[in-house]
Amino acid sequence: MGKHKDRVCGADVHKDLIVATITDRDGSYLQESFGTSPPELERFREWLKINNCEQVAFEATGVYWLPVHEVTSQSIDTIVANPYQIKSLPNDKSDAKDADRIAEYCLNGQIKRSRVFSQEYRDLRTLTRARSGYVRTRTQIKNRIHKHLSSNGIKLSSCIGDIFGKSGRHILDGLAHKRKTSDIITGIPSGQVRKKSDLIGVSINNGLDETSRTIVKDLLELLDITESKIEKTANMVANKMLKKSKDLAIVMSIPGIGFTAGTTILSEIGDIRDFKTPESMANWGGLIPGSYESAGKKRSFGITKRGPKQIRTVLVEVAHVIARTGDSRLHRFFQRLRARKNYNVAIVALARKLICLIHHLLTNRELYQENYCKKKKQEASECDVDSSSLTEEGMEDRVAAIVDALYHLKDRSRKRIQRKRTAKTHEFKRLPKWLSNGGG
């Protein structure tokens, strides 16, 4: 795995405790326990330096390893290992034994380094995952509201396509505040929905019982708070992406990838230079088939599903979009697989193709072009991203426009952003088109 060292340390990191073992080629070892507070971490680092430790290794245990890595990596070669690769034997585990085992692996160079994201990418990934968490919370709240409506015999979703739209929300607020059915129907803002007034009146005539009404009212308040959190987090993600506008433009040039999917993909991938080949990135994302061989017999099964599940989730979602819409090369690739494979197998294969394509485009700084895949490769000048079109000037307005379109900002925020935009910005709808046409 790596060059052998003469004196190393293996550490078993927990929430409040670090058990560390220093060992060398002579077989001697020294063991000590430390806390995880800043003074204790400084004492841990000094202990390593005093004992002439060349390298320290520990497992990536939740988020507890982050402060330890920040302290030790400043002066000592630090390895963060995947716990899956250095698992202990069943029924033979203790903190001291784990530290000894990790130290022995480190001494013999048997630990493969895990990727450690920079602080910039960690912040971006934290924001995109928080945004996804808020979206899941919003979905749960909406499902609970549906549940209380159905339990009271209110089939509002049978009358209105989206009960959380403008008209649907008006009706829900009326039910939560125990207004008269006639007043609710009269105040519906949409004329198309008012045409269904008879059907809506029959549906909501029973109203909500006192318990359900209280709960639905609280859930609507939680829904408003969650919506504001999603909007706030989306704006923070947009601001973070200003420095990576070129990468965002490249990823969003692929059909089916919008602003949300593009930012999630970039935050989960991190530094593209960590992957030498597209296959290595697909392997890291857990999108390659697993294999098993014993006694000369080989058996293949599903994908390995290693690496962060967020990258697989978003790529599979994009693959579903491509499979349903458009007539692109990626869509035709899916149709060819679908003709002889199961639908889910074809979707996963398309997701793997997407991650390999993203690696190629980001590495070569090219925008996706539908007519690019020919036997004779086009000249680089025809496909490379124009550096003049990827300047950060005006990028803030463009990213803000995407956020405005995707997250439905409030009128005040929308007007504020609208004043910032240039006249030409109104002519464009997708970021890659802005960039490929000279920066707008």
What pLDDT does residue 407 have?
42
212 in any annotated domain = yes
Continuous H helices in 2-118: 38-50, 65-72, 95-107
Does residue 131 sit in the same domain as residue 224?
A: yes
What pLDDT does residue 431 have?
46
Q: Which two tokens stand for residue 342?
A: 């199961």
What pLDDT does residue 372 have?
52
**Measured between alpha carbons, how far apart are the two ends of the chain, in Å?**
49
Does residue 98 sit in the same domain as residue 203?
A: no
Q: Are strands 18-24 and 55-59 parallel, antiparallel or unpaired?
A: unpaired
Does residue 155 sit in the same domain as residue 35?
A: no
Does residue 360 sit in the same domain as residue 276?
A: yes
Residue type, 98: D
**Which among 82, 107, 132 is the end of a domain?**
107
CA atoms of 41 and 11, how far apart (whole Å) = 12
What pLDDT does residue 207 have?
86
Domain that holds residue 227: 121-238
Q: Which long-range contacts (CB under 8 A, 24 or more apart) does 231-237 make?
A: 231/407, 231/409, 231/410, 231/413, 233/127, 233/130, 233/131, 233/134, 234/131, 234/403, 234/406, 234/407, 235/403, 236/127, 237/124, 237/127, 237/128, 237/131, 237/263
Does residue 287 sit in the same domain as residue 315?
A: yes
**Which among 385, 404, 423 is the end of a domain?**
385
Say how many CA atoms lie within 13 Å of 133 toward its Cβ. 8
Does residue 284 sit in the same domain as residue 338?
A: yes
20 in any annotated domain = yes
Residue-level pLDDT, tens digit, the chain, 440 residues: 456 788 999 999 999 999 999 999 888 889 999 999 999 999 999 999 999 999 999 999 889 999 999 999 989 999 999 888 887 777 778 889 889 989 988 988 888 888 899 999 999 999 999 999 999 999 999 999 999 999 998 888 888 888 999 999 999 999 999 899 889 988 989 888 888 888 888 888 888 999 999 999 999 999 999 999 999 999 999 999 988 889 999 999 999 999 999 999 999 999 999 999 999 999 999 998 887 777 777 777 788 888 889 999 999 999 999 999 878 899 999 999 999 999 999 999 999 999 999 999 999 999 998 875 444 444 434 444 444 344 444 444 555 454 444 444 344 444 444 444 443 334 333 444 444 443 33
**Which among 52, 82, 107 is the end of a domain?**
107
Q: Which two tokens stand for residue 85?
A: 């690769």
395 in any annotated domain = no
CB 58 within 8 A of CB 10: yes
Q: Which residues contact 10 (CB under 8 A, 6 or more apart)?
A: 20, 21, 23, 56, 57, 58, 98, 99, 100, 101, 102, 103, 104, 105, 106
Does residue 134 sit in the same domain as residue 229?
A: yes
CA atoms of 431 and 175, how far apart (whole Å) = 42
CA max distance for the chain: 88
Does residue 354 sit in the same domain as residue 379?
A: yes
Closest to 318 in 3D by CA, of 402, 254, 257, 249:
257
DSSP 8-state assignment for residue 151: H
Does residue 184 sit in the same domain as residue 218?
A: yes
432 in any annotated domain = no
Which CATH number goes with the domain that contains 75? Answer: 3.30.420.10
73 in any annotated domain = yes
258 in any annotated domain = yes
pTM: 0.77
Does residue 60 sit in the same domain as residue 139?
A: no
CB 346 within 8 A of CB 338: yes
CA atoms of 432 and 259, how far apart (whole Å) = 11
433 in any annotated domain = no
What pLDDT does residue 3 have?
63
State how many domains the chain has: 3
Residue type, 21: T
Place of tokens 């403008």: 166
Does residue 184 sit in the same domain as residue 262?
A: no
Does residue 136 sit in the same domain as residue 206?
A: yes
259 in any annotated domain = yes
Residue type, 221: E
Place of tokens 């105040």: 187
